[in-house]
Amino acid sequence: MLVDNHNREINYLRLAVTDRCNLRCNYCMPAEGINFVNNDKLLTIDELKKVSKVLVSQGVNKIRITGGEPFVRKNLMELLRYLKQLDGLDDISITTNATLIGPYIDELKNLGIKNINVSLDAIDRTTFERITRRNQYDTVHGNLIRLITEGFNVRINFIVLDGQNEQDIIPILALMKHYPVSVRFLEEMPFNGGSKSFQKIAWDYQVILAHITNHFPDYLKLESPKTSTSINYKIKDHKGTFGLIPSFSRTFCGSCNRLRITATGDVITCLYGSPKANLRTILRGKDTKVGVENAILRAVGNRAKSGFDAQKEHTGVFESSMTSIGG
Ligand code: SAM
Ligand code: SF4
């Protein structure tokens, strides 16, 4: 079992398989001039397998595949097939923009990978295209509905962006009234590749909840697992639920059970902190298993207590993008 220096058990790995993406969401990346890393700096599929195996042997029982866009990664399915047969790994989930997942839906279903988070920040076409800077609205909506109707456990991640998509909060809840989906509203974080910087946000989780309450006053707060980052609610007569993720307010750090590995092998113990090790160099040397185990133990043993403490590890300027960190 992995336990950090603040006595929090770490059993959840977010594994980025690429830093590339076919969208250019304006809260995640600048429109142009992104420095994607050279291919040889990305962990290979074999290296991703090795890292996963070591972490599962250390007590990780949930892996979320993220990116960049996971489905732009060649041979992603080979990794998923491998993960599926790893003893001790109970939950494999994927976060995707749902543009490229279509051809893989049947195989995902056959593999029993059911937990898919779809990032969707608008239900209005123009707003979607303005935010993502691409013309993929029909594909995303088609794949989303297919995932839901084929029985996947779908959660929608909706980042509330001041002046851009707040008008879609109520319509997306109204649309999802008929679907067993959780719509989770996230606060915007300052990881956008340096295209925009901010110290505070207009739409924090309390403002989002007040806005929803104005339209749907009849809701219940749901019990959530201790390590959940979302505060969850159910609106009366809605099939689905909604959640609020205080990713900027950082109210959930006390029970954080996550570790992140970027597509280049950086070990990140908090989104707001600096990388604690790089596994790529270790994996390309000798004694890889022991080397990775020790690097993970050192990183986990030296975790900031909260995102605010982690932020002090660097100058406070966030130049990185979620496409390299994996969200
Ligand atoms: N491409 C996939 C997708 O969009 O779902 C996976 C990678 S994406 C970086 C993972 C998550 O990070 C997405 O849910 C995305 O909305 C979120 N994200 C990206 N930039 C963010 C930001 N500046 N603030 C908050 N969340 C962000
Ligand atoms: Fe791509 Fe996901 Fe970032 Fe959007 S949020 S640009 S889909 S990596």
From the CA of 86, how far away is ligand 2's center (Å)?
Answer: 28
Contact, 192 vs 27, CB < 8 A? yes
For residue 240, give both structure tokens.
Answer: 């689905």
Q: What is the pLDDT of residue 317?
A: 58
d(CA 142, CA 145): 5
Q: Strand order of the sheet with strand 231-235?
A: 219-221, 231-235, 241-245, 182-187, 153-160, 115-119, 91-96, 62-66, 12-16, 258-261, 266-268, 277-278
Q: Please tell me the distance from the alpha carbon of residue 123 to that of residue 141, in angstroms, as a whole number.
A: 9
Best residue among 69, 120, 157, 191 to mutate for probing ligand 2's pocket (most ligand atoms within 8 Å of CB) is 69
With contact defined as beta carbons under 8 Å apart, do 49 and 213 qualify?
A: no
**Contact 21 CB / ligand 2 (< 6 Å):** yes
pTM assigned to the model: 0.95
Tokens of 44: 């290979």
User: Which pLDDT does position 316 carry in this prediction?
Assistant: 56
Task: Kindly report each contact of residues 254-257 with a partner whose C-beta sits within 8 Å and lies 24 or more positions away, as own/partner.
Answer: 254/8, 254/306, 255/8, 255/226, 255/227, 256/8, 256/227, 256/229, 257/8, 257/9, 257/10, 257/11, 257/12, 257/227
pLDDT of residue 33: 78
Pocket of ligand 1 (CB under 6 A): 21, 27-28, 66-69, 95-97, 119, 157, 159, 186, 188-189, 191-192, 247, 322-323, 326-327
Residue nearest to ligand 1 atom 21, measured at CA: 28
> CA-CA distance, 160 to 59, in Å (whole number)?
34
Residue 322 pLDDT: 82
CB 246 within 8 A of CB 272: no
Helix (H) or strand (E) holding 66: strand 62-66
Residues β-bridged to residue 13:
63, 259
Please tell me the predicted confidence (pLDDT) of residue 315.
Answer: 66
Is the C-beta atom of 159 inside 6 A of ligand 2? no
Structure tokens at 57: 């042997």
CA of 79 to the centre of ligand 1 (A): 21
Task: Output the CA 212–ligand 1 centroid distance in Å.
Answer: 22
In whole angstroms, what is the distance from residue 261 CA to residue 177 CA?
35
CA-proximal residue: ligand 1, atom 2 (nearest) = 96
Using a 6 Å cutoff on CB, does residue 25 contact ligand 2?
Answer: yes
Q: Measured from the CB, is residue 98 less than 6 Å from ligand 2?
A: no
Q: Is 123 in the pocket of ligand 2 (CB under 6 A)?
A: no
Could you tell which of 65, 96, 97 is best to mutate to test the pocket of ligand 2, judged by most ligand atoms within 8 Å of the CB? Answer: 97
Ordered domains of the chain (ranges, CATH): 2-325 (3.20.20.70)
pLDDT tens across the length of the chain (327 residues): 999 999 999 999 999 999 999 999 999 999 887 888 999 999 999 999 999 999 999 999 999 999 999 999 999 999 999 999 999 999 999 999 999 999 999 999 999 999 999 999 999 999 999 999 999 999 999 999 999 999 999 999 999 999 999 999 999 999 989 999 999 999 999 888 877 778 899 999 999 999 999 999 999 999 999 899 999 999 999 999 999 999 999 888 889 999 999 999 999 999 889 899 999 999 999 889 999 999 999 999 999 999 988 888 876 556 677 887 888
Closest listed residue to residue 95, CA positions, set 61, 137, 122, 64 = 64
List, in sequence order, every residue forming a beta bridge with 156; answer none if it has no partner.
118, 183
DSSP 179: S
DSSP bridge partners of 159: 186
Return the best residue to mutate from 65, 99, 116, 322 for the ligand 2 pocket (most ligand atoms within 8 A of CB): 322
- The CB of 165 under 6 Å from ligand 2? The reply is no
